[in-house]
Amino acid sequence: MYGIERGDGQKGIVMKEFSLHLLDVSENSMTADADLLIIHIKEDYRNNILKIVIKDNGKGMDTDQLKEVTNPFFTTKRSKRVGLGLSLLKETCERCDGKFFVDSVPKKGTEIKAQFPLNHIDLPPLGNMAVTIVALILRNLSVDIVYKHEVDDKIFIMDTREIKRQLGDIPINHPEVIRSVKDQIEKGLIAIGAGKYLDKWRVDYAKANDTGS
């Protein structure tokens, strides 16, 4: 799950794909008893900005917790002494000249925002968002997920509340339903070109810098 080489040649833990950051940060929302999780990714090529927002309606954090939230030694999990999810995302932001914000209100919820220049050389690839969203749906069936992905003016939205309404009595974790949800996300993301330019830019850069050694 974690890489150990950093683009700057230093050793450290680096998350290899954005989807893994999203999985990790969304896990916090589930632990915080949220029943609605909103994931919004915007690839804005006109302004060279990649924006990622993860918002929940969970128990939130008070100001003292909020101050410590990106400290790797801060965790409210009883089973461990380090909390790496948010500190890793913040580290990715710092490595990519990005910005990182956490906003939280006790009993209302939490919003994590990360923003990057789209053409930064160290930007991780998007990763497999269809598998990530399906994993989140299956992780806790009572948490509804809205996944919105924009590429300039094109938009893809998946809302499990809508899917559940259409399904009626059929559970969302029925294997055929899950397969169909995954297919729909994959097709929807291809249709808007999600991650395409992001990954293409990296491949082109790698080729241009391949010395053949």
**Contacting positions for Mg ion (CB under 5 A):** 28, 85
In Å, how far are 27, 46, 179, 193 from 153, measured between CA atoms? 29, 10, 28, 11
Binder among 14, 20, 41, 61 for ligand ATP (CB under 6 A):
61
Sketch the per residue contact string, 102 through 141, with ligand ATP: x for CB under 6 A, - otherwise: --------x-------------------------------
Least distance CB 114 / ligand ATP (angstroms): 13
Residue spans of alpha helices (H) in 13-124: 18-31, 63-68, 85-95
Pick 85 or 127: Cβ nearer ligand ATP: 85
- In whole angstroms, how large is the CA radius of gyration of the chain? 18
Beta bridge partners of 51: 42, 115
* 29 binding partner (options ligand ATP, Mg ion, none; Cβ < 5 to 8 Å by kind): ligand ATP
Looking at the chain, list the stretches that DSSP marks H as alpha helix, in order from N- to C-terminal side. 18-31, 63-68, 85-95, 129-139, 160-167, 175-192, 196-208
Bridge partners (DSSP) listed for residue 146:
38, 159
Provide the mask over 70-109, with x wherever binding to ligand ATP is found by CB under 6 A and - wherever it is not.
----xxxx-----xxxxx----------------------
Chain contacts with ligand ATP (rule: CB under 6 A): 24, 28-29, 32, 56, 58-61, 65, 69, 74-77, 83-87, 110
